[in-house]
Structure 1
Amino acid sequence: MLRRLNRYKLANRVCRIVKYRNDTRYSLDQVTTHDLQMQEAIGAVRVSDIMDKLSDAHVVAIDEGQFFDDIAECSDYLANRGKIVIVSALDGDFNRKRFKNILDLCPLSEDVIKLNAVCTSCGEDASYTKRLTSEVDLEVIGGRDMYTAMCRDCYFAASQGLTNPVSPLHGRLEVILGPMFSGKTQLMHDGIIAKTIGEIFDELLSSKVIVIDEGQFFPDIVECCERLANMGKIVIVAALDGDFNRTEFGNRVLDLCPLAEKVCKLRAVCTECGSEASFTKRLTAQKEQEIIGGRKTYRAMCRSCYLSTNKLENFENCPIRSPLLNFNSTSAYEDGLVASKRLKLIDGSVVA
């Protein structure tokens, strides 16, 4: 997160960092990495309490986003008003369950990236956090003395009291998110048609690699994918991260994120302006969440066009284009941006 922020500072952009005020391990007014890199930050328990201190910023970085109860609505509010918002957060707790409402950011974000650590047991990529103490409370702030990063095999071995996995299964779960028309499913392929994963579960056991399309529609997607990965299968799930209202689907498909080794969000092309699109706009008047359709029913849109066509409340106060366009356009493009409003979630188990 700090490396990304430093790039914006080099471009003379006004940056603000928000830290969780109850995290006092290193400093009250600085955000600190585990290797002791520090930068000045604004401490808060709720992001809404410090909105006035963020008004002049072009870029807002929020550390430990999982601790802020209002992280989703405040981050979206700032992004809708032209800010680039970068949230660094744990995607899951020590039980690999979603951490409060942090995953509500996924359908509101342009980018979602899950980072991997190094397993302290075997040296492989680590996607999970193992608590080393006996506390059961969700919010227990600590460092290497209280937590360690582990891969799937070592996490379950440690949970069972084993020093090393007896028979490493090396299963894996990958989640590909995105709006309609973002290329989550690229090729036609023979497949098994089912309404639930459970009804074809035994049939799937003969395969090493299992690909599940439209994961947002399967009511048992989370538990079945976890079972398959723990049985040594490589499971790849393609799913919409949000519906036409940018809200998670009812089966809570995003619960897969803290269980997965890899999570990425793809982008489509906005049919209105041609820029990158992260959201799905429904063209019909149906209100039901599950309406299956193609280009006659849905379009992919960027944040500005989505907000404009939806005519959201107070949208007239939201800049269609980011104030970053006041900067030299060349530097903006070199930085990989079109200087548009953007919300990034950095999942750091755990960037968006």
Structure 2
Amino acid sequence: MLDFMSFGENIGIDLGTATVLVYIKGQGIVIREPSVVAIDKDSNSILAVGEEARRMLGRTPGNIVAIRPLREGVISNYDVTEKMLQYFIEKALGKRSFVKPTIAVCVPSSVTEVEKRAVEDATRQAGARRVHIIEEPIAAAIGSGIDISRACGSMVVDIGGGTTDIAVISLGGTVVSYSLKIAGDNFDDAIIRYMRKKHNVLIGERTAEELKIKIGTAFERTMPVTLDVRGRNLITGLPKNITVTSDEMLEALEESVEAIAEAVHSVLEKTPPELAADIYERGIVMTGGGSLLYGLDKLIQSRTGIHAMVAEDAVSCVAIGTGRYIEFMSDNGPDEERPGIISGFLDKIKKR
């Protein structure tokens, strides 16, 4: 009997609020693009997706709007999400596959069944033959190299664009978890508000993101840095150039990063003592693009007294974990049930 799964591709997708990453079995990550779509409102047609659409943010004429179809880790615009997924799937596969692919997609740990179903349906409509949903903290742990099958506590803090997922994992399952709707996008919003309030200057999302990446700070730097940015003076209405310091970014981001540190502390308080002891010994692993904010690991370490470390290639951890999951899943045939896949996947990890 033919195994039809062998004829189609197997794809892992990190469907992030800010970035979409696509993993293909045997190739690794083949697509890493912003989750932005540019739409012509007059014809309701899609003009651009991904990096090309991101360059249009804040620079489009009246009839064109560049939007992010995902907010806070969940779908906010179903039709646009479906078309965006279809675009990325077709771009990843090209003309190589004549059978619909099997796809694993990540979702935040706090999503409702309705939100989970929306992701599954959108992925099917975009061209998937079978869809498997995996929680982001589990995928992040796998992608960062943590052996989640052991009877040992591991803590993962995954800071994406829309949500921060904090989870304590043991024996392949989540023991304690919490999802906070404060992450990279909130950092950008906080910077925009600060610049408006402190300097009477309005800046766009791209400028705020540039400030966050280049001089954003969650913990005081030993050597302050500065960056020149341009915005619109709210008093005169004219363009204005100003120099922003990292100390100002520390002030702008204080509320958001403190909320994340407090959430980590709260999850540790709810963790069983034996697992808490394991975490104290092994440390806290941070993944996601938001974890790259300067000093955020130091802030969490100072609040908890536990060593916090940023995973290697933190941005890709969720996609890599999803890819490892889909690679194992594809080796077990199309009739394998989900519980069996998960237990088998953990057995395979144990043997490595």
| TM beyond 0.5 | no
Taking CA–CA contacts closer than 8 Å with sequence separation of 6 or more, which of the two structures ends up with the larger relative contact order? 1
TM-score band by shorter chain is under 0.3
Higher helix proportion: 2
Please report the TM-score for the alignment, with normalisation by the length of structure 1.
Answer: 0.27
TM-score w.r.t. the length of structure 2 is 0.27
